[in-house]
Amino acid sequence: MIAVPEEFTRTTLAREGDAGSAWLAELPGIVEELLERWGCVPDGPVMHGGVGVVVPVRRPDGGTAVLKVSFPHPGNVHEPDAFAAWGGRGAVALHERDDERFAMLLERVRAATLAELADGDELVTVAARLGRRLAVPAPAHLPRLCEQAGAWEEGLRGDARELAHALPARVVDAAVATVRELGRVQPDTLVHGDLHARNILRADREPWLAVDPKGYAGDPAYDGGTLLKSRALALLEADDLHGAVHRVLDVFAEGAELDRERVRRWAQLHAVQAAFWGRRHGFRRARRGPGRDRLTDFADHLAQLLTRPR
C-alpha cells in the first residue's frame, strides 16, 4: 500500500472537499490495481504536485518509470494526449495510459527541475527552446484556446467592473484587445499550457524534458505568458523591473522563435488576469492579508509594464 503524502492529502481536501475525500480513499487501491496491471513495483518515496501523485516504479524489464495518478478533474483529461503527440520529443515518453483512472505510466527522469538554475537568462532560454520543440501540430480533439476567448473577455470586463482595483482603463483595454485580436483565431499548434520551470525536469536522453502539460490547441506564444508569470517571484527581487521583464520577453521570443510582440501581449493578458484572480481568490503563495496585497500590487505593476512595447 502506498503512503499518500500528507501535504497532498491536505491540499486536495481543501480544494475538492467531499469529492476529494472520496477519491483519496480510493487512491491507494487505484495505484495497487495499476501497478499490478502494468507489472510494476514501487521504487522510492511517492512524489506529488498540485493535482497528482507520482509514484517511482520499476517495470517488468527492470527499467524505471513513474506512475502518475491525477485527481479526476476536466483540466487533467488531455495530459496523455499531449504526451502521445510528442512521442518523447521534448517531453517524457508515455508508456501506458488509463484515462478512466486519470493515470499514466511515464518515463522517469531526474528529480532536479529547471527552477533550480540560478541564471535567469539560461532558464528562460531552456524553457523557450523546449517550447519551440513542443510546438507540433495539435491532435484534432484537444480543447482549443480560441474557444475560451469569449469567457476571457467576459471575465476581464466583469472583473474590471466588479472588483476594487487600481488598473488603469488602458491596461484592461489592452488585455481585451489581445483576446479579440490574438485569442479568437489561433493556430492549431499543441500548447503545453503550464510551461514553467518546475514542470521542466533534468533528463539524460535530452538535457531537459517537460512534464505536466494541460494539452491545448492554440498559439504557442501563450506559453510565454505562463513562463513570465512563473518568473514573477524572481522578478520581484530585480533592481530594474522594467529591464528584467523585457529581457525575459526578448530571451523567450528568441529561443522559442516567436514574434516578440505576440509574446508580450499574451504575457500582458496573463498579468491582468492574475491581478484580478489575486483579488478574487488570492494566490497559492498568499491567500490573503498583506502577502496577497503585495502580490496583487506586483501583478498590477507587471501588467502596466507589459502594456507598452518597451
From the list Mg ion, ligand ADP, none, pick the one residue 184 interacts with, judged by a Cβ distance below 5 to 8 Å according to partner type. Answer: none
Question: Which residue's CB is nearer to Mg ion, number 79 or number 300?
Answer: 79
Count the residues in the chain: 310
Distance, in Å, from the CA atom of 310 to the CA atom of 302, rounded to the nearest integer, reads: 12
18, 61, 119, 194: which one is catalytic?
A: 194
Q: Does 75 sit near Mg ion (CB under 5 A)?
A: no
From the list Mg ion, ligand ADP, none, pick the one residue 255 interacts with, judged by a Cβ distance below 5 to 8 Å according to partner type. Answer: none
Q: Does 212 sit near Mg ion (CB under 5 A)?
A: yes
Q: Does 223 sit near Mg ion (CB under 5 A)?
A: no
Q: What CA–CA distances, in Å, run from 197 to 114, 202, 226, 302?
A: 5, 11, 10, 19
Residue 111: CB minimum distance to ligand ADP, A: 6
DSSP string, 66-80: EEEEE---GGGTTHH
Q: Are 145 and 185 in contact (CB under 8 A)?
A: no
Question: Which residue's CB is nearer to Mg ion, number 212 or number 219?
Answer: 212
Interface residues with ligand ADP (CB under 6 A) are: 47-52, 54, 66, 68, 92, 106-109, 111, 198-199, 201, 211-212
Distance, in Å, from the CA atom of 175 to the CA atom of 302, rounded to the nearest integer, reads: 13
Question: Which residue's CB is nearer to ligand ADP, number 5 or number 120?
Answer: 5
Residue 123: CB minimum distance to ligand ADP, A: 16
Residue 83: CB minimum distance to ligand ADP, A: 10
From the list Mg ion, ligand ADP, none, pick the one residue 106 interacts with, judged by a Cβ distance below 5 to 8 Å according to partner type. Answer: ligand ADP
Query: Which position among 42, 49, 120, 282 is part of the footprint of Mg ion (CB under 5 A)?
Result: 49
Of the candidates 210, 67, 208, the residue with the CA atom closest to the CA atom of residue 136: 210
Q: Are 53 and 8 in contact (CB under 8 A)?
A: yes
Question: Which residue's CB is nearer to ligand ADP, number 2 or number 238?
Answer: 2
Q: Is 204 a catalytic residue?
A: no
Of the candidates 234, 231, 301, the residue with the CA atom closest to the CA atom of residue 268: 301
Grid cell digits, residue 172: 484592461
Question: Which residue's CB is nearer to Mg ion, number 53 or number 274?
Answer: 53
Distance, in Å, from the CA atom of 59 to the CA atom of 93, rounded to the nearest integer, reads: 14
Residue 107 φ/ψ, nearest 5 degrees: -55, 135
Grid cell digits, residue 143: 480543447
Q: Which stretch binds Mg ion (CB under 5 A): 14-22, 141-149, 209-217, 267-275?
A: 209-217
Grid cell digits, residue 22: 472520496
Query: Which residues are tagged catalytic?
Result: 194
Binding residues for Mg ion (CB under 5 A): 49, 199, 212
